[in-house]
A = this chain, B = another copy of it.
Amino acid sequence: MSHLFKNVTLIFLCILLYSVSCKESPTKNAIQVDNIEELNDAIKNANPGDNIVLANGVWSDVEIKFRGQGTQQNPIVLKAETNGKVSIEGKSFLKFGGQFLVVEGLHFKNGYSPSGSVVDFKISDDEIANNCKVTNCVIEDFNKPKRDNSDLWVQFWGRHNELSNCYIAGKTNRGPTVRVSIAGIESINNYHQIINNHFGPRPVKGGPSGETIQLGDSYTSMSPSHTYVANNLFEECNGEVEVISSKTNFNVFKNNVFYKSEGSLVTRHGNYATIDGNYFIGDGVNENYGGIRIINTGHWVINNYFFNLKGKSFRSPLAVMNGIPKSPLNRYNQVTDVLVAYNTYVNCSSPWQFGVGTNIAQADVLPKSEIRSARAIRTTVANNVIYNEKGLESIIVENDKADGVTFKSNVINNQGIAFKDFDKGIVEASLELRKLSDNVYIPVGIPEGFEAYNGFDFNTIEVDLLGVSRKDDKSIGAITGKNVSNPNILDKSKYGTTWFSNEVEEKEPNTILVAINDNLQSKIDEAEDGDIIILESGKHFIKESLIINKTLTIKSEDKTKMVLFYSGTAKTPLFSLQPYGKLTVNNLNLKGNASNFAFASLKENMSNHFGLSVTNSEISDFGYVLKAYKESFAERITFENTSISNCENGIELSEETNDKGDYNTEYLTVSNCVFNNVKENVIDYYRGGYDESTIGGNLLVSNSTFTNCGAKEKNKMLLNHRGIVNVNITKNTFINNPVQFVSILWGAKNNIESENSLTNSGKIKTEENLKLKLMY
């Protein structure tokens, strides 16, 4: 080749490369903005290809309306100067209107949206976003101050929008974290993508409307959505029983990881969801981690992997519900035409339940339009693999008959325990586990010549959970076993942002000694999250409420040698439990003035949860031991080895009386305690509203003694827990309590009592069906 020719070639190549690179990344016009006015100007004047760069720092009270017309090749980008160094705080939001707009690198924290959503893909009905994207951002604890004030953190409208590589965690107020709204033809067939995100912990909300993702609602449940939810990590998404609530048609859930999330992926309304290749990972203990709950028609549940899940009923790995015949739009349609195939269940307590939610027995107290009596029909369960380290007596729990379900070619290792084989649709084999990682094991050893079932359209199930082709492989279960390596599903670098991690380094708690004359509040303020405050022996006098807004332990070495006297005014608490205030009290002797309180939440603005654990303590002479106000919530409240005496009121969590299913604590535990002369509200814990899908709270009263309590109880009941779903009253002694009932248990729910001794204290009664207000 001649030099000339070479050179010409080179030049040509250069031109070619230049033109190619030109096409892919044109010279961007970067516009740095330092405040909202500059930002608004920049947005107003933006052209396709512009980069609007937000200066690092705190942007407070910014209402960003990102309007613009980018192009596919040249979107308009609004980004942080440095990813993660731009925080959006105070009363702020971000709304999109237009197309091909991208937002990157922002950190929403220390604030909340003054509107109905934090990120909204719509400015108005005439300014709806299409082809827009939020990526590499964090939304953290961006809660409205009141739990009942509903909002969404990300609300989708329009078509082809994307939420990707974000970290989103900590929502406590009412409303799903993310919602795809599809009311209006502009938002149907949307093909939105929710991908590669890390949904971090969403604490238990204590009532409904705490989903992490909700796709549509019942009013739009007839519409085609085609939303794609893939490759996300859901970690401790515990807001309510539904982590994902799919309420539209043709949604796809693929390769997501549900890790220690106290809820399920639920096809609540709408039809034809594809749930393909997801991981549901439990810890072998917690019964609240769910799987997939099925309602409606035409869903495909394929290639999913379930590990170490102990959930039952609504929270079973596979919970197929009964429907209401001719159901109203917002209730439960019958399950029809569902396929459950090629899934693997390892060490799950109750892998498959059918007829979940049947309530035929409640026909007396519920209207006909609430009776779930329609069993699943035209449903196929085939080619699944179950491995049980400990054999189960029922592979399938039939809450109602599974007679509309066809079982084919499912294989189980049940350790030789006999089970119903559903016309030989479930066969035993001596499978063994092969480890891929701590949470992923493949059952291997399907017998030679075992024939997989070839159902209608099974040929469209082309790959397994790991993406390996099924074409020439007739194996069953989620993983064919070929080309297998550790899928690293909990490697958090695969999800969320490039710059934020929710891993917290363990730190040793500091111990802070408080002498008699020290200012205790100052010491509390000095303490860091997790620290321990030790009160010296002697009499501590407190005149004003102590503000607790972090995780803290306050204790003494010997409660018999100390007293904490509280002389604050009536109805003020010794310990004011404020947002984030999680207090452990140990070995303290607390005394009030008969009208003030030992513990109380704020009356309002409980934008984050509190918590309380009292052990080995003595509490006396208070107006209230604990008063939880409306819209406050604690995941756990525990009293152990503690004596409570001479108080006007005991433990009261009963202000959620609007009967919307809300309550004030998930777990109220009273154990080894002594109650003496508590006149009213000894224990008062309330949840109202007929709602089959909020399945809390939890009351345990055990090994405790109640003497001379309840004298002023107007309803003549010692332990009030109306509407609480799980109640266990066991091994207690009740002496000389002037009440008619110690408790009335709700028979239809999980309310039980055992080994209680009642002397001159009325009785314990069980009422099978409680009449509650219908919520829907």
Task: List which A294-311 residues lie within 8 A (CB) of chain B.
Answer: 296-298
CB pair B456–A185 under 8 Å, yes or no, is yes
Please indicate which of the listed interface residues A270, A330, A337, A456 has the most CB atoms of chain B within 10 Å of its own CB: A337
Q: Are B186 and A456 in contact (CB under 8 A)?
A: yes
Closest Cβ of chain B to A277, distance in Å, is 20
Copies of this chain, whole number: 2
* Contact partners of A645 in chain B: CB under 8 A: none
Confirm or deny: A11 has a beta carbon within 8 angstroms of a beta carbon on chain B.
no
| Contacts A185-B337, A326-B328, A369-B328; A222 near B378 (Cβ below 8 A) | no
B329 touches A272 (CB 8 A): no
Instruction: Indicate the member of A297, A327, A457 with the most B CB atoms within 10 Å.
Output: A297
A188 to chain B, nearest CB (A): 7
A172 at the interface (CB under 8 A from B): no
In the complex, whether A181 has a CB less than 8 A from a CB of chain B is: no
- Chain B proximity of A461: nearest CB distance (Å): 13
- Contact with A369, one of B369, B378, B456 (Cβ below 8 angstroms): B369
Q: Give chain B residues whose Cβ lies under 8 Å from the Cβ of A270.
A: 222
Task: Contact check, A378 vs B183: say whether CB atoms are below 8 A apart.
Answer: yes
Please pick, from B218, B296, B330, B776, the residue contacting A222 in the complex, using a CB distance under 8 A: B296
Q: Which of A735-776 contact B (CB under 8 A)?
A: 776
User: Using Cβ atoms and an 8 Å threshold, which residues of chain B touch A329?
Assistant: 326-329, 333
Question: Which chain A residues numbered 313 to 337 have a C-beta less than 8 Å away from chain B?
Answer: 326-331, 333, 336-337
How many whole Å from A331's CB to the nearest CB in chain B? Answer: 8
Kindly list chain B residues whose C-beta atoms are within 8 Å of the C-beta of A272: 224
Interface residue A271 (Cβ < 8 Å from any Cβ of B)? yes
Whether B223 lies near A297 (C-beta < 8 A) is: yes
Q: Is A184 an interface residue (CB 8 A)?
A: yes
Contacting B at CB under 8 A, from A361-386, are 369, 378
Q: How many residues of A contact B (CB 8 A)?
A: 31
A466-494 vs B, Cβ < 8 Å mask (1 yes, 0 no)? 00000000000000000000000000000
Complex Cα–Cα for A185 and B339 (A): 10
Q: Mark A80-105, 1 if CB is under 8 A from B, else 0.
A: 00000000000000000000000000
Would you call B337 and A330 a contact (CB within 8 A)? no
User: Provided the pairs A326-B329, A328-B328 are in contact, do residues A298 and B223 lie with their beta carbons within 8 angstroms?
Assistant: yes
Q: Kindly list chain B residues whose C-beta atoms are within 8 Å of the C-beta of A218.
A: 326
- Decide: B298 and A337 in contact? CB cutoff 8 A: no
Q: Which residues of B contact A188 (CB under 8 A)?
A: 298, 337
**Do B326 and A185 have beta carbons less than 8 Å apart?**
no
User: Smallest Cβ distance from A405 to chain B, in angstroms?
Assistant: 14
A409 to chain B, nearest CB (A): 17
Decide if A271 touches B222 in the complex (CB within 8 Å): yes
Q: How far is the CA of A296 from the CA of B219 in the complex (A)?
A: 11
Q: Among B223, B327, B337, B776, point to the contact of A184 (Cβ < 8 A).
A: B337
CA distance A336 to B272 in the complex (A): 21
Q: How far is the CB of A330 from chain B (nearest CB, A)?
A: 5
Contact with B along A668-686 (1 / 0, CB 8 A): 0000000000000000000
CB-CB contacts of A688-711 with B at 8 A, as 1s and 0s?
A: 000000000000000000000000
Residue of B nearest to A297 (CB): B222
* Residues of B close to A297: CB separation below 8 A: 222-223
- Which of B223, B327, B776 is close to A271, meaning CB atoms less than 8 Å apart? B223
Closest approach, in angstroms, between the C-beta of A394 and any C-beta of chain B?
A: 28
**With A329-B327, A330-B326, A369-B328: A457-B185 Cβ-Cβ less than 8 Å:** yes
Give the distance to chain B from A376, nearest Cβ to Cβ, in Å.
14
Give A330-366 as 1s and 0s: 1 = Cβ < 8 Å from B's Cβ atoms: 1101001101000000000000000000000000000
CB 8 Å contact bits of A222-263 with B (1 = contact, 0 = none): 111000000000000000000000000100000000000000
- The CA of A337 and the CA of B184, in the complex, are separated in Å by 6
Please name all residues of chain B whose beta carbon is closer than 8 Å to the beta carbon of A186 when the two chains form the complex. Answer: 456
Q: CB-CB < 8 A to A183: which residues of B?
A: 336-337, 378
Which residue of chain B is the closest to A455 with respect to CB atoms? B185
| Docked CA distance A378–B326 (Å) | 26
10 pairs, CB–CB < 8 Å, chain A vs chain B = A183-B336, A185-B456, A188-B298, A222-B270, A222-B296, A222-B297, A223-B298, A326-B330, A326-B776, A329-B333
Given contacts A185-B337, A185-B456, A329-B329, 7 further A-B contacts (CB under 8 A): A183-B337, A184-B378, A185-B457, A222-B333, A223-B271, A327-B328, A369-B369
Closest 8 CB pairs of A and B: A326-B329, A326-B328, A222-B271, A326-B330, A185-B337, A222-B297, A328-B328, A186-B456
